[in-house]
Structure 1
Amino acid sequence: MKTIELSDERREALVAHLQTLFSTEFDETLSDFRAGEIIDHLLKTLGPTVYNQAVEDVRAHFQTKLDDLNGEVYIDEK
């Protein structure tokens, strides 16, 4: 599987969010480096599971649409 990569803007936003979370919930200050390392670790460990679940959800959604296709576009030949 391809490595999950974040845009610079998304990564910066996640770092800031994680720093705020640790500050408010745990009264701990995270440096940009530490927050980035946590994000990298989460992407490596949780990323594939979340990605696979998203793919399965999309597959199920499209399968529902395909199953209903005959009802939507079928024309009676009689």
Structure 2
Amino acid sequence: MAKIEFGKPLRDDLIHRLSRFLDRELDCEASALQAGFLLDFISEHLGPHYYNQGVRDAQTLFQSKLEDVVYEIEKPILD
């Protein structure tokens, strides 16, 4: 899987949100640099788990839809 890369505006926003979360919820101040390192860690180590779960969810949905389509296009067998 390719490394997750965010554009600068999105990355800056995510860093700001992460820094604010750390301060408000954990009473831990983090600089933009520190929050950026944490974002990189989360992206690298947790991101693939979220991605893979999304792939599995999509696979389940597609499989269900495929079964519906197959049922709809099957021809009835007359005795």
Assess same fold via TM > 0.5. yes
Aligned to 1:27: 27
Alpha-carbon shift at residue 21 of structure 1 (Å): 0.8
What is the letter of the counterpart of residue 13 of structure 2? A
State the distance in 1 between where 2:11 and 2:65 align: 34
List 4+ stretches of structure 1 deviating above 2 A.
70-76
Aligned residues between the structures: 78
Aligned to 2:13: 13
Alpha-carbon shift at residue 5 of structure 1 (Å): 1.3
Q: Which consecutive residues of structure 2, in runs of 5 or more, have no partner in the other structure?
A: none
State the distance in 1 between where 2:72 and 2:12 align: 45
CA RMSD of aligned residues (A): 1.9
- For the residue of structure 2 that corresponds to 1:68, the secondary structure is helix
State the distance in 2 between where 1:58 and 1:10 align: 25
Aligned to 1:65: 65
Range with greater deviation from structure 2 (18-27 or 38-47): 18-27
Alpha-carbon shift at residue 71 of structure 1 (Å): 3.4
State the distance in 2 between where 1:70 and 1:25 align: 50
Identity rate, percent: 34
Range with greater deviation from structure 2 (39-48 or 23-32): 23-32
In the superposition, the TM-score normalised over structure 2's length comes to 0.83
Q: Alpha carbons of 1:70 and 1:42: their partners in 2 closer, same or farther (altered >3 Å)?
A: same
